[in-house]
Amino acid sequence: MGHPAPSDPRRGAVASLLLGLSSVLCLGPITGLPAIALGAMARRDMDRSPGARASRAGAGAAAGGIVLGLFGTGLGLVGMLVVASGIVQLAEAPGDVAGEVASAPGSLAVVDLASSLPLQAQLDSVIADAKAEGRIVVLLTHVPRSVRGAQLDADLAAFRTNRALAGVTLVRANVEAFDAELRAMRVETAGPWFYVLDSAARPTAALSAEELDTSVPDATAAVLGSFARGRRGR
């Protein structure tokens, strides 16, 4: 008995079935798409030789490979969408732990306050660290979905390298997470504002982001630097 010819469609059908199974189990479209293609080609070759019983024996495997490939690919794509959505939500949501974005000596340091912790306790901790390093603490009220706030976030990279803000620690507080506590401090929550904080975390000067030309990051950094050092603000 001779071996099946290399072009035997049963081989493609079996390969399609195996790839379809792996697609459903873990690999999604990586093996699902090849399973669909191989299964379709095997079915085509079988249809071209209707009198060959041996070729038709693999029709079920080819059909199974196509179905499993479609199902596995669909599951994989849905999983990717769920993961992507989770990443976006994580990026937009306030963190659970306050973290410093930049703290190189002589540069602007940016600290995002954790929504799960009390505002005052976090401010006290940041101010204590800043005092030990001789840094000025400026509070920024972060307003989600604010156009001006989004522009300020985009300019942070430029702010960090601007010498005008050297020695400043910028603390970002999400107004949705800390609305009541910020209001108790007499801090505006209707839009992005900057506040210089003293050693007791009390605002001593204020500057609205509406007063800044955020289209020119260097100019904005210069204004913020002057404001932080007491040369500007309400």
pLDDT digits (tens, 9 = 90+) for 41-72: 777 777 776 555 545 556 777 676 677 767 77
Which is more confident, 205 or 51? 205
Q: How far apart are CA 189 and CA 34, in angstroms?
A: 54
What does the pLDDT read at residue 164? 86
pLDDT band at 156 (very low <50, low <70, confident <90, very high): confident
What does the pLDDT read at residue 173? 94
Q: What are the CA-CA distances from residue 185 to residues 96, 174, 181 (Å)? A: 22, 14, 7
Note whether 87 and 78 are within 8 A (CB).
Answer: no
Mean pLDDT, the chain, rounded, equals 78
pLDDT digits (tens, 9 = 90+) for 6-49: 456 667 767 776 777 777 777 777 777 876 787 777 777 777 76
Residue 2 predicted with pLDDT over 60: no
pLDDT digits (tens, 9 = 90+) for 107-146: 889 999 998 899 999 999 999 999 999 999 999 998 888 8
Q: Which of 234, 112, 223, 96 minimizes the C-alpha distance to 162?
A: 223
Please name the residue ranges forming H helices in the chain.
9-22, 29-47, 53-56, 59-92, 119-133, 147-160, 175-184, 217-228
What does the pLDDT read at residue 55? 54
Select from 3.30.1600.10, 3.40.50.2000, 3.40.30.10, 3.10.20.740 the CATH code of 99-228.
3.40.30.10
Neighbouring-strand partners of residue 206: 195
* Sequence ranges of the domains in the chain: 9-92, 99-228
Residue 93 predicted with pLDDT over 90: no
Q: What are the CA-CA distances from residue 19 to residues 4, 81, 169, 180 (Å)? A: 21, 22, 55, 56
Q: What are the CA-CA distances from residue 179 to residues 151, 160, 173, 183, 188 (Å)? A: 22, 27, 9, 6, 9
